[in-house]
Structure 1
Amino acid sequence: MTQTFTGGCQCGAVRYRFDQKPDGAHICHCRMCQKAFGSFYAPLVGGPLNSFAVTRGEIAIFHSSDQAERGFCRQCGTPLTFGYRDGDHISVSIGSLDQPEAFPPVDQHGVESRLSWVNAMGHRPDRPSTEAEQPDTAAFIASTNHQHPDHDTDRWPE
């Protein structure tokens, strides 16, 4: 049996799969990625376009330049893909994979736009977990969670 690597958006409207293990995990600091992710950088990993398939829903596309396009869920806004319009490679957001821990970034791109303080973030003190600090809030969030689980489902919402 061929190993697959699956992922999808937060709400479950879009699901995808790679038929081979994505590689080249990296973070991109370019200003377009910062804006597309609403974050300090974009964590991405990818593979050949012919190994990638959308298995549920449809990825909405924004052409961020004449060469590049970025895919996202139209329902919940999750950033999902990045690719060059005429390319044969597609990248996905590492956080949208069902097993993001398996894809640690190996390098950094777009460093000309890296925020001066971003590399020091890992040295900031950790706060206690939400469960420890705010157990009632954590329990309420868990009981009202609308997020799709980290695995394929026949239907969603179930």
Structure 2
Amino acid sequence: MNTMTGGCQCGRVRYSAEIESDDAYLCHCRMCQRATGGVSIAFVNVPVAAVRWDSAPDWYQSSPIAHRPFCATCGTPLGFAFLKDGENVDLTVGSFDDPSRFKPVHHYATESMHEAWIDTRDLPRIRSEQNENVRQRWMDACGKTPD
């Protein structure tokens, strides 16, 4: 078991979580699509007792059965939890400080899956610094490109 840390984009909300497994999954349900603005979201499922919020998130009741932690300052979605009797919480993979260890092991809510976004390996790959317009904006603003 490893302790991993994470939080929102602006740093207001921070957490640490005891992680037992590298397993993650992609949720394709319409509620997650709307909550994130994406076609799916990557989650790691952990026991509620394994998560410590160093600074508390805001919570949005997204349905009659669930609510979602997020940062009201920067808007970062941080997870999903059932309202009653939820022993586990899903944390967003992208909110971990180092999400590289996690690997997807299944898809969930596949009735809402957008197949065209699943296998993108043959699409051209463009690195951020290859976009001169964006690179120059970062250089002008702070002298370096983001991590």
* Conserved 8 A contact 1:28-1:42: yes
Instruction: Using structure 2 for the length normalisation, give the TM-score.
Output: 0.87
- Matched residue, 1:50: 49
Alignment of 1:112-131 (within 5 A): 112-127=111-126, 129-131=127-129
Instruction: List runs of 5+ in structure 1 lacking aligned partners.
Output: 150-158
- Matched residue, 1:139: 139
Alignment of 1:64-83 (within 5 A): 64-83=62-81
Q: CA deviation at 1:144?
A: 7.9
Distance 2:141 2:30 in 1: 32
* Conserved 8 A contact 1:3-1:19: yes
Distance 1:90 1:37 in 2: 17
- Matched residue, 2:11: 12
* Identity of matched residues, %: 33
Deviating above 3 A after TM superposition, structure 1's stretches of 4 or more consecutive aligned residues are 20-24, 140-145
Q: CA deviation at 1:115?
A: 1.2
Q: CA deviation at 1:142?
A: 5.0
Give the root-mean-square deviation of aligned CA atoms: 2.2
* Conserved 8 A contact 1:22-1:47: no
Deviation per CA, 1:113-152: give whole Å up to 9, x if none.
011311132321112x22233142342355488x9x9xxx
The number of equivalent residue pairs is 144
Instruction: Using structure 1 for the length normalisation, give the TM-score.
Output: 0.81
Distance 2:95 2:16 in 1: 11
Counterpart pick for 2:57 among 35, 38, 59: 59
Distance 2:102 2:143 in 1: 29
Q: Which amino acid aligns with 1:64?
A: S
Deviation per CA, 1:7-55: give whole Å up to 9, x if none.
0000000000113335541000010010111101011002110110101
* Cα gap change, 1:115 to 1:51, in 2 (>3 Å): same
Q: Whose strand proportion is higher, 1 or 2?
A: 2
